[in-house]
């Protein structure tokens, strides 16, 4: 494991520090279990993004996830190779690649989701359920993501 702050003095309350630390803590918790299931964080994001609103162009997914086009190519390459999504040319605009989940892709997403939610439970353990909901809501609001239904994972 990388670099866990060993208990000692927090000393810093700046929001940029807290968010950076939180980011790493969450990543450290989630990455392992996901990797065991054979996925990266971003692969999970892509699958989840497609699950939401299914046929989307690569570019749309890039925009939704704030992932660079050149990264997306590699991500989609792999997911396609593993038969988790299909990549077809848009007939109306042949520049675009339309992405859609396969059945296996939907199953993979579900699997990832379970692993991620489980890992998040332990990463955010100090927070109560209500606190997590509030935190979640505020994070979304801070990002300017309009008012969406939270879509919480059920236990």
Partner DNA sequence: TATTGTTATACTCTATAACTATA
Partner DNA sequence: TATAGTTATAGAGTATAACAATA
Residues that bind its own copies (CB under 8 A): 2-27, 30, 41, 44-45, 48-49, 52-53, 60, 63-68, 113, 116, 120, 123-124, 126-127, 131-132, 134-136, 138-146, 148, 150-152
b/e per residue 2-24 (b: at least 16 CB within 10 A): eeeeeeeeeeeeeeeeeeeeeee
101, β-bridge pairs: 85
Confirm if 77 and 67 have CB atoms less than 8 A apart: no
Least distance from DNA to the Cβ atom of residue 8, Å? 11
Residues in region 74-133 near DNA by CB under 7 A? 74, 76-77, 87, 92-97
Distance CA 77, CA 99 (A): 11
- Contact residues toward DNA (CB under 7 A) are 2-3, 20, 24, 31, 40, 42, 57-59, 62, 67-74, 76-77, 87, 92-97
């Amino acid at each position: 494991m990388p670099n866990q702050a060993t208990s000692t003095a927090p000393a810093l309350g700046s929001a940029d520090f807290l968010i950076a630390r939180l980011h790493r803590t969450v990543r450290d918790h989630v990455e392992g279990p996901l990797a065991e299931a054979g996925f990266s964080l971003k692969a999970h994001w892509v699958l989840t993004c497609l699950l939401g609103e299914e046929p989307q162009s690569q570019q749309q997914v890039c925009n939704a996830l704030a992932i660079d086009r050149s990264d997306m190519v590699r991500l989609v390459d792999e997911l396609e190779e593993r038969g988790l999504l299909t990549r077809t040319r848009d007939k109306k605009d042949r520049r675009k690649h339309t992405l859609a989940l396969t059945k296996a892709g939907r199953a993979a997403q579900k699997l990832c989701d379970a692993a991620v939610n489980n890992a998040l439970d332990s990463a955010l353990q100090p927070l109560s359920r209500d606190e997590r909901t509030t935190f979640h809501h505020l994070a979304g609001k801070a990002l300017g993501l309009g008012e969406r239904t939270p879509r919480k994972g059920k236990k």
